Amino acid sequence: MFIPASRETTIQAASGTTTVFALPAPPRGMLSRIVVKQTSGTLEGFEFSVLDQQNPTDADLHTIVGKVTVSAGTALYANYALPAYYENRDLQPDTMPRRTGAIYLSLKPLGSGTKNFAVAWTAAAVNVV
């Protein structure tokens, strides 16, 4: 049974630098919607992807949503029909048997300056039988 939860947040990122932001989500789930909207600064474009691990050594192996490039002059990217199944892959110490309840937005604004973004997503927990 899927019980989706929608969330939103605002983030700030420096242009030319990739920054990773934790998005609260079930440890195992289905990402059904992602919206990333630039809310300040010149619209010089941005790139992002969604990962199942905060700092993977090989991002290709931990991608939920592959690299998306939003062109200059565009403020918004929205995908309402993913569905993308995932399981958080952060390594946990032995004293912490449950996986982290998060997925990760890897965001790189293009151009110059610091820019603000609004991010919204919907994820539903998936039970493993």
| pLDDT tens, position by position, 5-41 | 899 999 999 999 999 999 999 988 999 999 999 999 9
Q: What is the C-alpha to C-alpha distance for residues 10 and 19, in angstroms, rounded to an integer?
A: 14
19 half-sphere exposure, CB direction, 13 A CA radius: 16
- Tell me, what's the pLDDT at 1? 54
- Which domains, ranges and CATH numbers included, belong to the chain? 9-90+99-124 (2.60.120.680)
pTM of the model: 0.89
Which whole-number Å values give the CA distances from 72 to 4, 93, 111, in the listed order? 32, 42, 9
| pLDDT tens, position by position, 75-128 | 999 998 888 999 888 866 666 566 678 999 999 999 999 999 999 999 999 876
Nearby residues of 40 by Cβ (< 8 Å), 6 or more positions away: 115, 116
Q: What is the C-alpha to C-alpha distance for residues 84 and 89, in angstroms, rounded to an integer?
A: 15
For residues 51 and 59, is the Cβ–Cβ distance under 8 A? yes
